[in-house]
Amino acid sequence: MAKMWAGRTDGVTEQIADDFNSSIRFDSRMYRQDITGSMAHAAMLGATGILPQKDCDTLIDGLDGILQDLESGKLAFDMSCEDIHMFVEQELTNRLGDVGKKLHTARSRNDQVALDIRMYLREETDTVSSLVKELIRAVTAQAETYKAAIMPGYTHLQRAQPITFGHHLMAYAMMLLRDLDRLADCRHRMNQSPIGCCALAGTTYPTDRRFEAAKLGFDGICLNSMDGVSDRDFCVELLSAFSILMMHLSRFSEEIILWSSWEFKFVELSDAYTTGSSIMPQKKNSDMAELVRGKTGRVYGDLMALLTTLKGLPLAYNKDMQEDKESIFDACDTVEMCLKVFTGMVSTMTANTDRMKKAAQTGFINATDLADYLAKKGLPFRSAYKISGSIVAHCIAEGTVLEDLPLKEYQKFSDLFDEDVYQEISLETCVRKRISEGGTSVASVEAQIAYVKEKIGE
């Protein structure tokens, strides 16, 4: 069958060329945006007198009928159409005859597709944002539960200083808050309407772009028609925000995997979010966390694919840009699925607070506090640091820990040591006294929780 755009050519193409060119199998998911956009376009054509109002009412009714029939399943996509835009126009013309052919006045598929993706991604951005909020809620609830649970804090994956599990969890809540911020920022630039840019140069019809933009909930319009049809920055920005979000989930996953290992045994994942092995009966694997970590690479790939597609494109529209969709759709699906699974996994995870505490008791993680003890008694910190280091070395040689070293041993290193040293280096004191803003003290963790809750509107 000849194409709708037959004219210059007879519109007859090879099957393999059609298959290669066609995008309906992935862009049909934008049918709602395409039809809503077309209804606004028809309304604008009527309001400006470009088309008789009667025709525009017919077009709007026809489009509404197509939307309803698609939603109810009465109408199926014709996969032989080139894309969703051609499908809707073809169906409209089948239903309305010549009036249907008037819809494409004063627009092009170039501004139409740009409009559809912006509208589609606007919704996806909102969906992802609410899923991130749910995850923040789950993380914060766990932090509340474990705000006083002492565990080792690490640098270089070596035990460093005592912290609470609540404090560790709130670090992720802060990352996720920034992700929310990035999504909102992204949405802000995305929400400018390209419709009316037409093929690239604008149009000779007396259109009202702002009428159409306002009808579709945009904050404004793209101010250069060539930019309007060739801009995919908002896709790249969204993919970047997604990539950073996935990077956070991946780091969190890595920790959950470590913490679930026999070596750590800091957390226990719910059976509902783990799998077994087909051969090793003892296994309880953290597959969900591993998959989230793995799928992070996939989202990075989507970002790289689109950046690479766009880098050499001359203005304005080029068919290369059709490649934006599979990347961005795949990223949306992946991110949404990961967030849902991750939230379930985190909210059902329990901490083994005894194991955490035990791990904190070895590894000399209160050595900084020992140095601070001397420094607070007047010794310059660097000298105090050196003495504490020697005491740690001595304890390692003697097979003991700072808490058990007798006072008279301490006093061999410095006469500033007194009975109060034991109180000062107890893990509880180490945590309780870290009251600096953003520190690990329970009071600080409570303040962080309150801040995050306020930010997500609770």
> Which positions are annotated as active-site residues?
156, 277
Closest approach, Cβ 107 to ligand ARG, in A, equals 11
Kindly tell me which residue out of 113, 236, 305, 359 binds ligand ARG, with binding defined by CB under 6 A: 113
**Rounded Cα–Cα distance for residues 384 and 373 (Å):** 8
Maximum pairwise Cα distance, the chain: 101
Q: Does residue 265 sit in helix, strand or coil?
A: coil
Segment 295-324, which members bind ligand ARG (CB under 6 A)? 317, 319, 321-322
Closest approach, Cβ 214 to ligand ARG, in A, equals 24
Q: Which is nearer to ligand ARG, 237 or 324 (CB)?
A: 324
Q: How does DSSP assign 216-241, residue by residue? A: TT-SEE-SSHHHHHH--HHHHHHHHH
256 binds ligand ARG (CB under 6 A): no
Q: How many CA atoms lie within 13 A of 282 on its CB side?
A: 2
The count of other CB atoms within 10 Å of the CB of residue 261 is 11
**Matching residue, tokens 């028609």:** 225
109 binds ligand ARG (CB under 6 A): yes
**Rounded Cα–Cα distance for residues 151 and 165 (Å):** 6
Closest approach, Cβ 185 to ligand ARG, in A, equals 26
Say if strands 192-193 and 220-221 run parallel, antiparallel, or are unpaired: parallel
- The letter for the amino acid at 450 is A
Closest approach, Cβ 196 to ligand ARG, in A, equals 16
Prior bond of 160 cis (ω within 30°): no
23 binds ligand ARG (CB under 6 A): yes
DSSP code for 314 = P
- Stretch near ligand ARG under the rule CB under 6 A, chosen from 42-50, 106-114, 218-226, 355-363: 106-114
Q: How many residues make contact with ligand ARG (CB under 6 A)?
A: 10
Q: Which is nearer to ligand ARG, 24 or 51 (CB)?
A: 24
DSSP code for 194 = -
Closest approach, Cβ 158 to ligand ARG, in A, equals 51
Q: Which is nearer to ligand ARG, 41 or 109 (CB)?
A: 109
Kindly tell me which residue out of 36, 38, 58, 110 binds ligand ARG, with binding defined by CB under 6 A: 110
Binding region for ligand ARG (CB under 6 A): 23, 27, 83, 109-110, 113, 317, 319, 321-322
